[in-house]
Structure 1
Amino acid sequence: MSAGPAPLRVTARRVHLWLGLTIGALFAFAGLTGSALVFYPEIDAALNPALRAVPGDARPPSWQAVVDTLHRDHPTRTGAWRIEVTEAGGAIPARYYKPRETAGRAFAPLLVWIDPVAMRTIRTGFWGDTVVTWLYDLHYRLLLEEPGGIAMGIAGLVMLLLIVSGIWAWWPRPGGWWRALRFKRDAAPIRRLYDWHKLNGLLGLVLLLVVTATGAMLDLPDQTRAVITLALPITTPPRPTVAAGQGAVPVDRLVAIAQARFPDGALAWIETPTGATGTVRINLSRPGEPSRRFPRTNVWLDPHDGRIVAVRDGLDGSGGDTVMNWLHPLHGGEAFGLTGRVLAFVAGLLPAILFYTGLRRWLRRRSQSVRASSRTACDAPG
């Protein structure tokens, strides 16, 4: 990478400065809220006494019992329930995606938690009403539904320009690498601020690029898919239906059939039928998939006879599928386990550090410039 002619470097510095002063605060805000959301299931559980009271390793007697509990405690909700199977155990989260109470919102499912020992509902709330889901909407869409998501996606692209312009403005000339990378602890405060700014940016560069790019792509899903399909195909997932019938195969039997199809798959989600012609969908997490919580290996079954009617192999998708499957796990760090989540947490702190050091340096330089102008005016002959 060449530093480029001096005028281009000056332009890059000006672009970086004014983007930092204008969108830098939003970058810092998005980073800080994103850091909190890296561990949002754990934070949510810690904030709720009812969830903390459930033994962390508790398991239900059967998954059919969980489905029966949801139907018993919420008899008017006859649509699909999506039950999360957490890796460790404890209270069982479930979502009802189409509650009538939030029909006017783009995404606001009913959230329910089941005590797997007492087999009863211990907590309910709509998406956006809890602290962490409100924070999620704030981070993702600024509480503005789809227009907010588009705005944040565009802002994410501008943030990428902010990062690139900073690297371009800093890039050392031949022979100047040691000077450019060294922290000058004996320098003036304004120089030390610059060194803190550049070194934090350089150390976290890869993390910043990954979380910013994936965040913009997640905020602009339609546009992202359209761009990816220009080079790589993306598979449309099946939406199977079955004939209405009598009787129902127990959910645990359906889970066993799905796991027999993918023996290496760990149960992640169970989705009950949407209506009389709906299927049961079993989501399985297989080794090699980037997300344990939201895997792409799915088995759709006829709830009346247990027949498999459709399958999606999360490890056998197209190139476009692979890109799409990695976006969310990369953004939140889940793709690399606890280490990845910690790195994503750190990445979220970096924009605030960069904004603070950059703003302080700009204010100091501005103050020095004002004082210099004042002295020049006072020294001028009257």
Structure 2
Amino acid sequence: MKPYKIIKTLHLWLGLTVGAIVSFSGITGSLYVWQPEISAYLTNRELNIHNSSKTSYAKSVHTTIKLKEVHGDSIKKLQLPYRKSNYILLTFLNGTTYYYHPKNGAYLGSNLKTDSFFKTLLQLHRNLCIKPYGSYIMGISSLLFCFSILISGFLLWRRSYKKRWKKGFTITWSSSKKKFNYNLHKVAGIYFIIPLIIMSFSGAYFTFYKEYRTLFSVLPDFKIEDTSSLTKIKIGTYFSIEKHTKKLLPKYKLWSIHFPSKKDRDYRFRFINTLEIESGLRKTADIFTDKDLITTKINSFNTDPLSLRATAQMYPIHIGESFGFVHRFLVFICGLIPLALYITGIRFYLFKKR
């Protein structure tokens, strides 16, 4: 069989099979792009938060300290207001989730339907709610879409239009249904091929993050600063968290606290460079302490090797938070393109059969 026939057959059958999975992943991903705004609006209504003005970070930290003192060792995880949310989230060891006002610590509610909906949506997007195999289905489908369907589609497009490039980028609106369907398929594919490659490649990271880090480890492995002296600093009591972490990580803000449990014996204080939706690099840091809150280990973006700093950007690139609103809108559109390609691809196949 000639190479052209092989590429054409590969593009056809992978498109008809893998294309269905990628289309579903794209739709769920497009919905999740606007999760901060939709969730904030619905959560405020569900929790009856009438004053939706953002609470200051310092006040949120102060309230967090008080909540820890009240609930003691029954907490599994504590999270400060993040992105568009305006509540402090407490997950308890028994699995329940409570929400508190960041300004006064007032109890707002538990196990929100909005929160549950978006958690389910995210699970559908990442693993079809089929653990652990669903994650591999989605990850492998993303890589096949990236390196087989899109690349083979480009090679077929190039073979047809290598001597008439302009026609390869345009649609003839007055053509027959069959021709119009084909033109729509080729134009949607060629215009969005680069964003789709980036989206599918970054999406597979959530399944194969270990392999990605190994792959990126070929990048220069250097550190910006030495943190060996920082590990000797004590976090101290909860009243001094903010003071001590300013010394350790002056450009970061406390994001969440993971408490000791049967699985993890130590505390983990997670920090991020911004709690808002902002463009730029995603920078996180983790301070690990023992039960006496004495620092045992620090992991920071500033001191991570270049390979880890590169893979850390997979999330903001995939979700659309690296280059502002335009990036988010582009990710939203890209999530719908696989479905358009899938429908027009099936129609093209049926037209040809007829």
Tell whether 2:38 aligns with 1:50. Answer: no
Counterpart for residue 27 of structure 1? 22
**Structure 1 residues without counterparts, runs of 5 or longer:** 1-5, 102-109, 368-382
Counterpart for residue 6 of structure 2? 11
Which amino acid in structure 2 is aligned with residue 9 of structure 1?
A: Y
C-alpha displacement at 1:232, in angstroms? 6.2
C-alpha displacement at 1:150, in angstroms? 1.4
Q: Is the 8 A contact 1:54 1:115 kept in 2?
A: no
Counterpart for residue 345 of structure 2? 358
User: Aligned partners of 1:62, 1:132: CA distance in 2, in Å?
Assistant: 24
Of 168-177 and 157-166, the range deviating more from structure 2? 168-177
C-alpha displacement at 1:214, in angstroms? 0.9
- Give the alignment's TM-score, normalised by structure 1: 0.76
C-alpha displacement at 1:196, in angstroms? 0.8
Counterpart for residue 79 of structure 2? 83
Counterpart for residue 166 of structure 2? 178
Match of 1:59 among 45, 48, 55: 55
Which amino acid in structure 1 is aligned with residue 205 of structure 2?
A: M
Which amino acid in structure 2 is aligned with residue 68 of structure 1?
A: K
Written as runs of structure 1 = structure 2, the 5 A alignment for 1:103-118 is 110-118=96-104
Greater C-alpha radius of gyration: 1
1:185-238 deviations in whole A, cap 9, x for unaligned?
232221111111111111111111111111112122233334334666599xx9
User: Aligned partners of 1:202, 1:230: CA distance in 2, in Å?
Assistant: 31
Q: Secondary structure at 1:297's aligned position in 2?
A: strand
1:104-147 deviations in whole A, cap 9, x for unaligned?
xxxxxx54321124413323229997111011111111111222
> Is the alpha carbon distance of 1:120 and 1:150 closer, same or farther for their aligned partners in structure 2, counting shifts above 3 Å?
same
Tell whether 2:89 aligns with 1:93. Answer: yes
User: Aligned partners of 2:311, 2:287: CA distance in 1, in Å?
Assistant: 19
Q: Is the 8 A contact 2:285 2:299 kept in 1?
A: yes
Counterpart for residue 315 of structure 1? 302
Counterpart for residue 36 of structure 2? 41
Q: Secondary structure at 1:59's aligned position in 2?
A: coil
> Is the alpha carbon distance of 1:111 and 1:221 closer, same or farther for their aligned partners in structure 2, counting shifts above 3 Å?
farther
- Give the alignment's TM-score, normalised by structure 2: 0.81
C-alpha displacement at 1:52, in angstroms? 5.8
Tell whether 2:173 aligns with 1:162. Answer: no
User: Aligned partners of 1:314, 1:230: CA distance in 2, in Å?
Assistant: 18
**Structure 2 residues without counterparts, runs of 5 or longer:** none
Counterpart for residue 334 of structure 1? 321
Counterpart for residue 67 of structure 2? 69
Q: Is the 8 A contact 1:70 1:121 kept in 2?
A: no
Q: Is the 8 A contact 2:202 2:314 kept in 1?
A: yes
Q: Is the 8 A contact 1:298 1:314 kept in 2?
A: no
> Is the alpha carbon distance of 1:186 and 1:89 closer, same or farther for their aligned partners in structure 2, counting shifts above 3 Å?
closer
Match of 2:189 among 175, 178, 201: 201
> Is the alpha carbon distance of 1:366 and 1:50 closer, same or farther for their aligned partners in structure 2, counting shifts above 3 Å?
same
Q: Is the 8 A contact 2:272 2:284 kept in 1?
A: yes
Counterpart for residue 141 of structure 1? 127
Counterpart for residue 121 of structure 1? 107
Q: Secondary structure at 2:323's aligned position in 1?
A: helix
Which amino acid in structure 2 is aligned with residue 290 of structure 1?
A: L
1:234-287 deviations in whole A, cap 9, x for unaligned?
99xx9xxx99x9x96234x32232223443x24141315427973462513079
Q: Is the 8 A contact 1:58 1:116 kept in 2?
A: no
User: Aligned partners of 1:174, 1:145: CA distance in 2, in Å?
Assistant: 45
User: Aligned partners of 1:181, 1:94: CA distance in 2, in Å?
Assistant: 52
C-alpha displacement at 1:335, in angstroms? 1.7
C-alpha displacement at 1:345, in angstroms? 1.0
Q: CA RMSD in A?
A: 3.5
Counterpart for residue 150 of structure 1? 136
Q: Is the 8 A contact 2:266 2:289 kept in 1?
A: no
